[in-house]
Amino acid sequence: MKITRILAYQVDLPLQEGSYSWSGSRRIEAYDSTVVRIETDSGLIGYGEVCPLGPAYLPAYAAGVRTGLKELAPHLLGHDPTEVGAISRLMDQRLRGHAYVKSAIDIACWDVLGRAANLPLVTLLGGRSGEAVNLYRAISQDTPERMAESVARYRADGYRSFQLKVGSDAATDIARIRTVKADARAGEVIVADANGGWLTHEAARVVEAVRGVDVYIEQPCLSYEECLEIRRRASQPLILDEVIDGTGALLRAGADRAMDVVNIKISKLAGLTGARVVRDLCVALGIAMTIEDSGGSDIVTAAIAHLAHSTPEAFRFNCSDCNSYVTKAIADGAPRRVDGRMRAPDGPGLGVSPRHEVLGDPVLVVE
C-alpha cells in the first residue's frame, strides 16, 4: 500500500462557552483546526486532526500546521502508511522538531492501519481496558464565584473531575481553589492548573495557603526546575504537563520523582506513535496519566479515546473530550460524553466518518 495523495482542511470551531481563558491573560474564542486526509492506492483513506490552543500556549500555532504540512507531505508520497513507525522516523528525518505538524499525519496513518486490519485502534494500541474512560472538564479562568458556578453546571452533565484554570495573582487563585472546594461533592477530583503561570514565590504561597486541601496542583511554573522546587515544598499531588514533551523529559522527571501524574497531549508527541511510547513508559514507571490534546473536535477526540481506552485502567487519571467544547461537529461516529465518561468507537481505525460538507474545500493538496 502506498500514499498517493495528502489533503489538508482548515476548520474554525467556535467554543460552546463563547471564549476560554487561562493564565497570562491568554484567551481564545474559537479553535483553528486542521484535518488531514491520506489517500492510498488501495482505496483506503485515513483522517487525522490537530488543533493548537492558539499561538501562545505551546510552541505551536494553527498556520504553522499548514505550512509544515506543505513542507513535509511531499516526502511521504509513495510510502506505506500502515508502517507507522517508519513513517514517524521519515517525518523526523525530513522535518526537525515541529511535533504538532506531524501529529495529524500520524493519526491518519493509524486510521489507515486500523481500516486495513479491520480493527479499531483501541485494539491495536493495547486492547480495551474497562467499559469507558472518565472525563474531566476544564473551567475557564474567571472570578471564584463564577468558576464555582461553572463546576456546578458541568457536574449536572456528569463530570466528576474539574480542572480549574488558575495562574494569575496568588490571592485570587487561593480564593478560586477554596471557593470551588467548599462546594465539592464527595469523590470529585479538583485540579488547580496554573499552566506555568506562577513565579516560584507565587506558587509557594498558593501551595502553602491550601496545605491540607484535597486538590492537585498542575504545572505551577514555566520551567521544570521551578516545578521541581514546588514539588518539594507542596503537600499536594503534582501534575506535570507542558514540560513533558518526550521520553527524555519523562525519564528525567521520573528519576527526580517530580510528579504524581503526567498529561499526555497527542500533538505534543507527534501523534499516536509517540504518545503510545510515552504512555507505555508511564505504565512501566508507575505514573498515572491524563490522556488529551490541546484542542480540536471529533477526529482528535476519537484518537484520544482510543489511546485512553487502551491504557490500563489503574493508570488513567482522566482524559478530555475535546469535541464537547465546540459548537461544530466535523465527523459522524465520534465518541460522545455519557454521564461524564466516553468510550472508544468500535469501528475500524478511528471509527469516524468526516462530514465533508463541514470540512469544505481543501487548503492543501499534495499528489
CB 79 within 8 A of CB 90: yes
Class of residue 322 by CB neighbours under 10 A (exposed 0-12, middle 13-18, buried 19+): buried
CB 69 within 8 A of CB 364: yes
Beta strands 316-319; 341-342: pairing state: unpaired
Where does 49-189 have alpha helices with state H? Answer: 62-72, 84-94, 99-117, 121-124, 144-155, 170-182
DSSP state of 325: G
Question: Which residues have a Cβ under 8 Å from the Cβ of 304 and sit 6 or more positions away?
Answer: 266, 291, 292, 293, 319, 320, 321, 322
CB 7 within 8 A of CB 365: yes
CB 240 within 8 A of CB 262: yes
Q: CA-CA distance, 103 to 68, in Å (whole number)?
A: 11
Active site residue 265: yes
User: Hunting for cell 519523562 — which residue is that?
Assistant: 250
Catalytic pick among 165, 181, 268, 328: 165
Closest CA to 271 of 100, 132, 142: 100
DSSP state of 74: G
Where does the chain have alpha helices with state H? Answer: 62-72, 84-94, 99-117, 121-124, 144-155, 170-182, 200-209, 224-233, 247-256, 272-285, 298-309, 356-359
Q: Which residues of 182-203 are buried (b: 16+ CB within 10 A; e: fewer)?
A: eebeeebbbbbbbbbbbebebb
Q: CA-CA distance, 296 to 266, in Å (whole number)?
A: 11
How many residues are there in the chain?
A: 367
Catalytic pick among 102, 181, 265, 268: 265
> Would you name the residues annotated as active-site residues?
165, 265
